[in-house]
A = this chain, B = another copy of it.
Amino acid sequence: MPAGFETISGLAQATPSKIVFLVMDGLGGLPHPDTGRTELESAQAPVLHGLAARSSLGLSTPVAAGITPGSGPGHLALFGYDPAKYLIGRGVLEAVGIDFDLQPADVAARGNFCTLDAEGLISDRRAGRIDSAAAARLCQELDGFSLAGVQCLVRPVKEHRFILVLRGPGLSDALTEMDPQRLGAAPLPVAATRPEAEPAARVATAFVERARALLRDCRPANMVLLRGWSMYPRLPALAEVYRLRAGAIAIYPMYRGLAKLVGMEVLPAGETLDDQLGALERYWGQYNFFFLHYKKTDAAGEDGDFGAKVRAIEEADRRLPRLLALKPDVLVITGDHSTPATLAAHSWHPVPVLLHSRWCRPGDADGFNERACARGDLGRLPATDLMPLALAHALKLTKYGA
């Protein structure tokens, strides 16, 4: 059994009871300086707040105390995967983030277009954040090179970002990064850190030299920086470790990609939360676990727009009755990390958790917010505990020991 799942996978039973994880991305917040109230405390969200009084509440830690998680580790933890044990490289995450069909033997890198000065030193690590259309044209020029049976696939991501995927036999991702992470330095060479990565290093180096030649006269993007070399991680599937038939309803490619990595089936989600709820209704009979991803809370938090985050919570609250009408056996509402609008970034603060089920043990919460969750009956828990708790409340786990 995969590391970390020995106990749970021995207890998990396939049953028809249904679990929904509504992941409100970046849900946790901080008090607004004028009001002393967080985003959740400021929101007119009667359904959420009413549900809190009949639910278990707690605060979850995605990775460890003080650690601010990226979206990858944040979601892996929610699905029960120890994010310190199961790492997803930057190249792979970008690739799944644009719905690229990454193969198990592929090696992916995150690429930046950058600007070199006349001495060949980096003067801008992001080539002035060139626009996406210009970058897409450059990617087309770079795409399609091959050497010694290895293809170099180049796809644009957004602005100065792209991915390079090496496809061929016998490749390894044990490669060094090109980005010196500071200005005034030359790009670093791509080198193998283990002997088996020599073939990949040779192809990558040839690709880089060709890119240098092709981009020589371009401004501001006259060079590339490659980093985050990585291969498709071998994550055990939810079906294997929990015996779940899991469907993902996510609008953004990165979250669809993450869901695919843990073996969920990615369902057509549409473009709005209403579309997503429609998908949930349509596929309700075919799965016993649903991951419903709601992005607006995080986007508003990242923008530093307190009011927009409050409104995003209120919008979800208005749609919540449609979800509740399906009567899931277990509904978990939480985030993959906090994104306080005052900080305008992901943060390390623990994340509010609501677990609703016939079998939960409610406290005396007056609403769904950080303060109520800090006093909640679930206490402070690692995010990796949420999946076992959801399975238990769905009566999917048998007794441990006699």
Contacts and interface: CB of A to CB of B under 8 A. Distances in A.
A380 interface: yes
A148 interface: no
A363 interface: yes
A371 B56 CA distance: 11
Interface string A58-69: 010001111111
A370 B392 CA distance: 18
Interface of A: 7-8, 11, 30-31, 38, 59, 63-73, 83-84, 87-88, 90, 93-94, 228, 340, 343, 346-349, 359, 361-364, 370-371, 374-377, 379-381, 385, 387-393, 397-402
A359 B371 contact: no
10 contacts: A7-B67, A38-B361, A65-B381, A66-B389, A69-B399, A88-B402, A94-B402, A346-B399, A347-B392, A374-B377
Contacts of A66: 8, 385, 387-393, 397
Contacts of A400: 63, 67-70, 73, 83
B381 A374 contact: no
A84 to B, nearest CB: 7
Given A7-B64, A377-B371, A72 B401 contact: yes
Contacts of A68: 392, 397-400
Given A379-B379, A388-B64, A359 B30 contact: yes
Q: Which of A67, A87, A340, A359 has the most CB of B within 10 A?
A: A67
Contacts of A87: 401
Contacts of A8: 66-67
Nearest to A76: B401
Nearest to A388: B66
Contacts of A362: 31
A401 B70 contact: yes
A8 to B, nearest CB: 8
Contacts of A38: 361
Task: In the A-B complex, list the 9 residue pairs whose CB atoms are closest, starting with the nearest.
Answer: A66-B388, A65-B385, A66-B392, A379-B380, A73-B401, A70-B401, A348-B392, A374-B377, A70-B402
Given A69-B400, A72-B401, 7 more contacts: A63-B400, A66-B393, A68-B397, A69-B399, A72-B402, A88-B402, A379-B380
Contacts of A84: 7
Contact of A374 (B65, B83, B376): B376
A299 B194 CA distance: 56
A401 B349 contact: no
Contacts of A379: 59, 374, 379-380
